[in-house]
Amino acid sequence: MQPARIEGRVDVEGGSTWYEKVGGGPGLPLIVVHGGPGFPHDYMTSLDELADERVVVYYDQLGCGRSDRPHDEGLWRVERFVDELERLRVALGYRQFHLLGHSWGSQVAADFALTKPSGLTSLVLASPPLSIGRWLEDARRLRAALPEEVRRALDDGEADGSVDSGAYQGAVRAYMSAYVCRMEKWPPLIGQSARGRSDRIYEVMWGPNEFTMTGNLADYERTDRLREISVPTLFTCGRYDEATPEAVEVYSAALPGSEAVVFEESAHMSHLEEPREFLAAVRRFLARHDPAGAAEDGNS
């Protein structure tokens, strides 16, 4: 039996944002913040499996997926995405809720948590790039571990500007297959998100490709502020993740009392590569932090 699904829209700065509420149950709602920037929620919908115990809320950030697509590039800044999340929470009327952010979404979720928002009960930061400096350093190390012919194709393409060539794009796919999703055949959910993505948001906030940081996230660094987060927090990553286990260990150590889980057969898409293990870890964490009487709290 498929869980119930209810769609809606919320007015935010720059337009309106689409959301969907899935399932129900006694647990507090879980709001899911997708990655990107500009890569909509579809690839996260494997979290529907959690909707037997609680409402799971997905939304497409402004500019991608089913949300409005304004042309004002001044909208593509972290603080606006944080404000968008708060407007969603207010519109949903949740007095208590959990929050899960994946990849870029973990930056939005962490910055949201740092505002001390009303009702936030726990936080899951999955494959988090919470220090862009560390992320880029790790990316150089991961790239150096690729086969020589792949490294050469990346270096040559960037040196002569042929980043649209088949050789360069093939080398990018090799990197992605090693560190983003290690499944031989990528799940259709990733393709669904790819069809609704906004390359322009990615360019403005990150850059032209995975290896070239020219966007406004270049100075993003939150390691020293993580200790200000005051709710129970779970960090997750894959053993072969772009968000490396070493980085996640640093983040977890910076937030006393937090937990960290590394999924041994995963890269950056643990929720798709090891869904049973990922969902079990998140399910246990959320259940431990559901307050007694959650079902009577008016959050369903």
Instruction: Give the type of residue at 299.
Output: N
- The C-alpha atoms of residue 231 and residue 291 are separated, in whole angstroms, by 13
Instruction: Give the type of residue at 124.
Output: V
Dihedral (CA of 85, 86, 87, 92) sign:
positive
- The C-alpha atoms of residue 289 and residue 106 are separated, in whole angstroms, by 19
Whether the CB-CB separation of 102 and 126 falls below 8 Å is answered with yes
> How many residues are listed for the chain in this entry?
300
Q: Single out the catalytic residue among 103, 106, 122, 198.
A: 103
Whether the CB-CB separation of 62 and 70 falls below 8 Å is answered with yes
Enter the tokens of residue 239.
């053993």
Between β-strands 15-22 and 56-59, what pairing exists: parallel, antiparallel or unpaired? antiparallel
Enter the tokens of residue 271.
């929720």
Q: Single out the catalytic residue among 268, 270, 271, 289.
A: 268
Enter the tokens of residue 292.
């007694």
Residue 47's SS3 state is helix
Q: What is the DSSP string of 203-228?
A: HHHT-SBTTB--STTTT-B-GGGGGG
Residue 268 annotated in active site: yes
Beta-bridged to residue 137, according to DSSP, are none
Q: Is 63 left (phi over 0), alpha (psi -120 to 50) or beta?
A: left
Q: Single out the catalytic residue among 241, 252, 270, 289.
A: 241
Residue 241 annotated in active site: yes
Residue 193 annotated in active site: no
Which burial class, exposed, middle or buried, applies to 94 when counting CB atoms under 10 A from its CB (0-12, 13-18, 19+)? buried
H helix and E strand count, the chain: 10, 8
Q: Which residues are annotated as catalytic?
A: 103, 241, 268
